[in-house]
Every structure is written in structure tokens, then in C-alpha cells.
């Protein structure tokens, strides 16, 4: 079967892991790279053997024979680049956050639907091996009916060293990590019915908020507390793991440091370690995320080939809504009811 051909738009930090992530999969090939700074596209192309480079997205689309584009530029450019690709009938894979606002995200999903092109978000945290396992154990019924959960990403990792632009964002942690954490909440527990959020900026050297706490009542009546922070100097650093605890009518689950999943029932506690697959190209500090990129992109590839995939644009729009309703709640100091 012919390989699906794609171009990568944006050759920054994450492209260096998404490209080798695609290269782990059969049936897909990166044929061109675009960056507005040509030398950056050249560097990525050399590292990963990408045959063509461009500093103009228009020229790339005009010259290359593509099936889809993988957009991993800054969020501000997602909508115009995706629009351009959709108008040429190309399917689209796009990084999170989908766009810098809820309105633009809605527009992006509408454009792809109107143009009849497939649209997926590279939302990979829900694909982390320990999180998949936690869901499997929870869905097996061993802890009974879940009634309460805490989903936590609290860290002091020097995130601005690798991604300095994050320090310039007016809206930081909810768009950056909140997109992942709130998506994990939806993946595990379904949709939210209402939410209340508080935010803070602790690090005075950045523009946006670096702490957010979102308390949600889920449609299944669970209470879910999502907490995220890049200002938390804790005894044990957990970056980039999402830690989860779930309490149910017959027991509880705790996904703790070092990928350890503890299942407690009246029979006692069973502990297992769910190690992610470590790829040679992965940065050890991000290992669990880099391995989830492969699993996420495998699922998206299935979607691109006509199957069902989880992280469609339409699905991810519900995560984007949680992000922006959280900002609204924090600004108004108000409980927000969701449709
Ligand atoms: O940008 C973020 C992401 O998607 O995963 C971790 C990160 O790199 C920093 O918060």
C-alpha cells in the first residue's frame, strides 16, 4: 500500500520528536519541512532525512504531492495554515493547543468540516502508557463505581529553558498543560457538567498564570479536581507525568511517581510499574510523553486512513472549551455550567 505523504509545518522543539515518532510507523512519510526561518527547516531535514525544505507554506503546498500536513508551529498560525491546507483538500494534524482562543478553534473545526478534510489534534497525554493502564483497571470494575478523582501536574521543571516562548504567553498553564490535563480528565471520566477554577501567577518573570486549579462536576456525577502548576517545588519532581488518584465504591487507584499504579481494595494494595517504551531518539526527561507521541500518531494514522481515531478536532474542541471556560470562571470567580 502507498505511504501517506505529509509535510511538517514548524520545525521547533516538538517537531524533533513528532518526526521520529512518525518514522516509527509503517505507511507514512515526511516529504517536506517548512519553517519561516529556512536554516531551522534545514537542520530538521538533515537530522531526519526529509528531502525538501521551504520557507514559504504556499510554495510547499504548490510543489509537493501531499496527503496531509502536520502543523506544529505557534498556536497563532494554526488557523491560517490549516485554512490554506484545507482549501487545497489536504487532511490536517495539528498540535495542541488547537488555536489561541475558543472562537478560532471553533472556526478551525468548521473550516475543516466545510472543506471535507480530516482534522486531528496531536493530543498525546491521554496516550501515556500508565494512563491507558489506569483506565483499563478502572473500567474493569475492580474499584466499583468511581465517585472522586484528582488529576495532578504540579512541577518545578524549568520548562522555559526548552520552550522560551511559553514565558511570553498571556494565557500559559491552562493552554499549555491544561490542554493535556483536562483532556486526560475527559478521557478517564467523560464530560464535565460544571466547573470552578482559580489561577495564580507565582513566577514574576513570565506573563501568564503558572498555577490553575479546576474543580469539575462530571456528567456521571463524579467530582474531579484537576490541578496544575509550574511553581511547585515538591519533595519528588514528577515531570512530565500526570499523577492520578481515583476513589470508587469498592476501592481506589493511585498513579504515582515512577509510573507506579497502586490498586487498593478490601483485599489490600497491589502495585505495578507501567514503564513507557523508551525510544532511542527520546529525551529521557520527557520519555513518557515521547513514547505517547508514537501511540497517538499511530491512532491518528488510522484515522487518516479512514478508521476511527480518538483525538479528532471535534473531540478536542470539548477540551478547548474546558480550557477557556476555566479562564472565564477564574476571571469572574464564578461556577460555570457547561451545556
Ligand atoms: O508544551 C508542553 C507540552 O505539550 O508537554 C509538556 C510541555 O512541553 C511543557 O509544558
| Closest atom of ligand 1 to CA, residue 166 | 1
What distances in angstroms separate CA 337 from CA 45, 69, 148, 326, 334, one per listed residue?
47, 36, 19, 11, 10
Does residue 42 sit in the same domain as residue 149? no
Could you read off the pLDDT of 130-156 as tens digits, one per residue?
A: 999 999 999 999 999 999 999 999 999
Q: In this structure, what C-alpha cell is assigned to residue 182?
A: 483536562
Domain that holds residue 174: 125-285+310-337
Q: In this structure, what C-alpha cell is assigned to residue 237?
A: 519532581
Does residue 112 sit in the same domain as residue 134? no
Does residue 92 sit in the same domain as residue 209? no
Cα-Cα end-to-end distance for the chain: 43
Helix (H, G, I), strand (E, B) or coil at 274: coil
Task: Report d(CA 203, CA 14) in Å as an integer.
Answer: 24
* Domain-embedded: residue 302: no
Between the CA of 47 and the centroid of ligand 1 the distance, in Å, is 22
Could you read off the pLDDT of 99-132 as tens digits, one per residue?
A: 999 999 999 999 999 999 999 999 999 999 999 9
* Ligand 1 near 123 CB (within 6 A): no
Which of 159, 184, 230, 242 has most ligand 1 atoms within 8 Å of its beta carbon, as the pocket-test mutant?
159
| Number of domains making up the chain | 2
Does residue 165 sit in the same domain as residue 102? no
Residues 6+ apart with CB under 8 A from 56: 34
Does residue 185 sit in the same domain as residue 320? yes
Contact (Cβ atoms closer than 8 angstroms) between residue 303 and residue 309: yes
Q: In this structure, what C-alpha cell is assigned to residue 4?
A: 501517506
Q: Which residue has the cell 463524579?
A: 222
Does residue 78 sit in the same domain as residue 40? yes
* Ligand 1 near 176 CB (within 6 A): yes
Task: Report d(CA 251, CA 313) in Å as an integer.
Answer: 35
Does residue 113 sit in the same domain as residue 137? no
Residue 299: Cβ within 10 Å count: 19
- Does residue 1 carry a pLDDT above 80? no
Does residue 138 sit in the same domain as residue 173? yes
Does residue 79 sit in the same domain as residue 176? no
* Ligand 1 near 174 CB (within 6 A): no
What is the Cβ-side half-sphere exposure of residue 210, based on CA atoms within 13 angstroms? 21
Quickly state the pLDDT bin for 335 (edges 50, 70, 90): very high
Task: Report d(CA 321, CA 308) in Å as an integer.
Answer: 22
Does residue 135 sit in the same domain as residue 66? no
Q: Which residue has the cell 472556526?
A: 107
Which of 85, 117, 149 marks a domain boundary? 117
CATH assignment at residue 70:
3.40.50.720
Task: Report d(CA 89, CA 206) in Å as an integer.
Answer: 39
| Closest atom of ligand 1 to CA, residue 96 | 4
CATH assignment at residue 220:
3.30.360.10
Does residue 169 sit in the same domain as residue 245? yes
Between the CA of 71 and the centroid of ligand 1 the distance, in Å, is 16
Give the pLDDT confidence score for residue 173 in this predicted structure. Answer: 98
Q: Whose CA is nearest to atom 2 of ligand 1?
A: 176
Amino acid at each position: 500500500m502507498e505511504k501517506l505523504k505529509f509535510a511538517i509545518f514548524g520545525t521547533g522543539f516538538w517537531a524533533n520528536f513528532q518526526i521520529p515518532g512518525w518514522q516509527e510507523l509503517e505507511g507514512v512519510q515526511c516529504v517536506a519541512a517548512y519553517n519561516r526561518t529556512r536554516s531551522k527547516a534545514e537542520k530538521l531535514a538533515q537530522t531526519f532525512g526529509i528531502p525538501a525544505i521551504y520557507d514559504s507554506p504556499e510554495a510547499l503546498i504548490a510543489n509537493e504531492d501531499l496527503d496531509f500536513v502536520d502543523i506544529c508551529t505557534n498556536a497563532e498560525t494554526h488557523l491560517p495554515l490549516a485554512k490554506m491546507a484545507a482549501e487545497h483538500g489536504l487532511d490536517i494534524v495539528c498540535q495542541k493547543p488547537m488555536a489561541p482562543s475558543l472562537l478560532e478553534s471553533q472556526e478551525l473545526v468548521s473550516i475543516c468540516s466545510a472543506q471535507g478534510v480530516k482534522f486531528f489534534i496531536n493530543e498525546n497525554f491521554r496516550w501515556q502508557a500508565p494512563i491507558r493502564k489506569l483506565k483499563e483497571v478502572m473500567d474493569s470494575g475492580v474499584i466499583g463505581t468511581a465517585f472522586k478523582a484528582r488529576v495532578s501536574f504540579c512541577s518545578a521543571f524549568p520548562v522555559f529553558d526548552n520552550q522560551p516562548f511559553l514565558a511570553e504567553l498571556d494565557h500559559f498553564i491552562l493552554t499549555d498543560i491544561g490542554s493535556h490535563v483536562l483532556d486526560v480528565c475527559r478521557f478517564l471520566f467523560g464530560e464535565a457538567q460544571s466547573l470552578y477554577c482559580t489561577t495564580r501567577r507565582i513566577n514574576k518573570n513570565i506573563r501568564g498564570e503558572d498555577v490553575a486549579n479546576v474543580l469539575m462536576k462530571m456528567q456521571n456525577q463524579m467530582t474531579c479536581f484537576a490541578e496544575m502548576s509550574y511553581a511547585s517545588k515538591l519533595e519528588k519532581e514528577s515531570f512530565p507525568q500526570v499523577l492520578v488518584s481515583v476513589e470508587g465504591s469498592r476501592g481506589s487507584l493511585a498513579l504515582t511517581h515512577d509510573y507506579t499504579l497502586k490498586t487498593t481494595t478490601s483485599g489490600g494494595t497491589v502495585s505495578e510499574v507501567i514503564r513507557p517504551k523508551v525510544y532511542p531518539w527520546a529525551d529521557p526527561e520527557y520519555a513518557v510523553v515521547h513514547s505517547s507521541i508514537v501511540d497517538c500518531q499511530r491512532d491518528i494514522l488510522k484515522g487518516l486512513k479512514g478508521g476511527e481515531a480518538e483525538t479528532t478536532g471535534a473531540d478536542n474542541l470539548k477540551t478547548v472549551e474546558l480550557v477557556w471556560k476555566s479562564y472565564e470562571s477564574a476571571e469572574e470567580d464564578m461556577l460555570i455550567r457547561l451545556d
